[in-house]
Structure 1
């Protein structure tokens, strides 16, 4: 399937490296830019995800820039171990995903460089910070609304994405005992009968569904689908091979239905569905301006997440589907708000009509394209394949 598209894929890879080299040095202490023009700041979460693609780029200059990012994050870490949202700004605090992403980045960087004790002190402080993020003093990590990458969407209590990040870095850093305990807690069902009995703990498994709850806390939960969290669940081995395969089939069938209903114009899945609509109980007034159905965090198509979904398809051994989605992603990254660009690597795409709505030359859009292409080429879920386990939830 890929042979007829290989030239186009190679062109896209070269364009992605061009974007990353352009963004490697920005105006803030020479740290990388988050986007070519719109975001000059070095955002922690974007750059930690981008490390996956930079690691397969073959460009030492880019790896050196990521070393500088990790060193700067360690320097700006709080005394309690928390990692800031902006790499250069020790005061920009409060995110729930930056510290687990830092630990994920450390795990990946150590695998690449074989520096087994790289930033050991900062790693230990970050691990301790994460242990303190469980209000039950167990293993599930809790968060405040809009504190993860979804800065315009409410995730309350035990968000699935942050907990899959936590599971992933625990595996990469060989913290297997705590990973097993977290897996056990995540494997409980969400509470659906409105009653929480003493010593009964909520979990993130949804009855009769192959995917995991968006979030759960006590008797409350959301069963909307989070593509990023569930892709990480497949990549990390949290989801068993059977669950992973069933989940992929479910995603593709739901996307077919959304296309029939004119809710989706792309061959790629939205980051979140079903969309939250104005009459839904989880709708917030602010969404009307910043998070409309099919847009931004409420169902927009994010190329960086689609790159991780393609890697998850490889982990699930759905090789032909992964090739098909890589071809679709190759077409999507051409979209741009600036018509002068051959490859836009735009931040996010509106689901209903496929219009690019974010910033062009987004670092993680370019990096995760490289990562997806390399996973398809090698048929390996790179950096996760030997960190995952054979039997998940």
Structure 2
């Protein structure tokens, strides 16, 4: 039971939103038809995170139905569709290809198995889970061990993230780990077409390539460069350019051919913490930075910081489309309550409980705000004004409040606790448990 009436009421209202999103085919992304009436692959799987914390059979059945719908509409090559309209089975092709659909599809099955223990359901879906994993393997087009993602090819579907993207590759690590655990559970032999690297290899590559920490010890930096050169000469060349920024207290959002993004991706970094990609040293730097720059102010949590401004090298003219991605809006620094739920969960994971409770209160407050009434559970909020600007009654805004509530008051993180338990021992051996706080971030 929450110690705040607002928080407790927010939980009740969040449940009502989820009930209104239920269809026989799974969770719609929004309870309003003028919002997102489709069953979106990533949305329905993220909605499942909060739904399973309730223990409600009706919500759990909707999680199952979502997986069945996504399975039914998977392409012959293994692509999990971005969304499906349950009323007419229409599959939209408005957006760029979304790599994260396959990733969340695999993680959704892992979550459902964790909660229900239903091996028969997993076995009946295994061919599609396997096809989803094989399809992902082919998105590593140069066989470097990380996914290459097209521009705007994930949840940031109107934003210039591209190539080796943090968010997608963190989920790729988690999905690869989950896939292997599920395969063991149903006693299947190893795949005849294995990925280029295993989960440990993905974990290592993310940390080598996307965390910038130029040690004041020259030999350490040289050793880092040699590791990158051994894996891929392209990365060795890239890291010379990246090294000019010295260090950052967060993972870079993306890296590409001789270029990189230089801003903090909120969801990507939070998922790095939750999945176990980030060690203690990285986690504290990320969470402290997000607090220092106010990524959860006025409400949790902004998609990125700082926003991309017109004239910046990473600005795109399509950001002006429907005025969506102007600075402090939508993916360009807008506040997403869904991301706020992951932020609170990451704080619980790291043990910053007072900050987690504080943000939970703010999350309840922002979900209460509405354009035309109370308890709007809006899609996204202006990053400066704190006023709702997206569609109302968003399933994942409601669901991630439930997940955050569960994290704060139980200390449990479904899916992510399980992933941490099966983290490769070699990955654990590379971790830095000591937090270096001086300028530059690394050992002196």
TM-score by length of 1: 0.89
Give the direction of change, closer, same or farther, for the CA distance of 1:267–1:22 in structure 2 (3 Å limit). closer
Indicate yes or no: 2:266 matched with 1:227.
yes
**Counterpart residue number, 2:118:** 115
Determine the C-alpha separation between the residues in 1 that align with 2:211 and 2:342: 29
Q: SS of 1:210's equivalent?
A: strand
Mapping of 1:125-164 within 5 angstroms? 125-164=131-170
How far, CA to CA, are the matches of 1:122 and 1:164 in structure 2?
Answer: 22
2:88 matched to 1:54?
Answer: no
Name the structure where helix makes up a greater proportion of residues: 2
Q: 1:95: which partner in 2?
A: 98
Q: Which residue of 2 is the match for residue 287 of structure 1?
A: 319
Alignment of 1:315-334 (within 5 A): 315-334=349-368
**Structure 1 residue 36, shift from structure 2 partner:** 1.7
Deviations 1:334-382 (CA, angstroms, capped at 9, x unpaired): 011122xx31110000011001001111000000100000011112333
Map 1:232-381 to 2 at 5 A.
Answer: 232-255=271-294, 266-288=298-320, 289-339=323-373, 342-381=374-413
Aligned-partner Cα distance in 2 for 1:127–1:4: 43
Q: Residue 185 of structure 1 aligns with which residue?
A: 205
Name the structure 2 match of 1:14. Answer: 12
Alpha-carbon deviation of 1:75? 1.4
State the 1:92 CA deviation: 4.0
Q: Residue 82 of structure 2 is aligned with which of 76, 85, 91? A: 85
Q: Partner of 2:40 in structure 1?
A: 43
Alpha-carbon shift at residue 239 of structure 1 (Å)? 0.1
Distance change >3 Å, CA 358–CA 111, structure 1 → 2: same
The structure whose Rg is larger is 2
Return the alpha-carbon distance in structure 2 between the equivalents of residues 91 and 40 of structure 1.
12
**Alignment gaps of 5+ in structure 1:** 259-263
Q: Runs of 5+ in structure 2 lacking a partner?
A: 183-196, 213-227, 433-444
Distance of 2:77 and 2:358 partners within structure 1: 45
The alpha-carbon deviation at position 223 of structure 1 amounts to: 1.7
Structure-1 residue corresponding to 2:178: 172
1:49 deviates by: 0.8
**Partner residue, 1:261:** none
> What's the offset of the Cα at 1:135?
1.8
Contact 1:84 1:90 in 2 (8 A): no
Determine the C-alpha separation between the residues in 1 that align with 2:356 and 2:310: 34
Distance change in 2, residues 1:241/1:116 (3 Å): farther
Structure 1 counterpart SS, 2:247: coil
Cα offset, 1:91, TM superposition: 4.8
> Hey, what does 2:68 align to over in structure 1?
71
Q: Secondary structure at the match of 1:223?
A: coil
Partner Cα distance (2:419, 2:134) in 1: 21
Structure 1 residue 268: Cα displacement: 2.6
Match of 2:253 in 1: 214
Deviation at 1:327, TM superposition (A): 0.8
Shift of 1:116: 3.5
| Aligned residues of 2:41 and 2:82 also touching (Cα < 8 A) | yes
Q: Cα 1:90–1:165, aligned 2, differ >3 Å: closer, same or farther?
A: farther
**Residue range with higher mean Cα deviation, 128-137 or 88-97:** 88-97
Q: Retained in 1: the 8 A contact 2:100–2:155?
A: yes
Q: Residues 241 and 380 of structure 1: is their aligned pair in 2 closer, same or farther, counting only changes over 3 Å? A: farther
Q: CA deviation at 1:303?
A: 0.4
* In 1, Cα distance between equivalents of 2:419 and 2:229: 36
Q: 1:139 Cα deviation (Å)?
A: 1.6
Q: Residue 172 of structure 1: CA displacement? A: 2.7
Cα distance, 1:79 vs. partner?
A: 1.5
Q: Conserved in 2, the CA contact under 8 Å of 1:21 and 1:62?
A: yes
Of residues 110-119 and 53-62 in structure 1, the stretch that sits farther from structure 2 once superposed is 110-119
User: TM-score scaled to structure 2, two decimals?
Assistant: 0.79
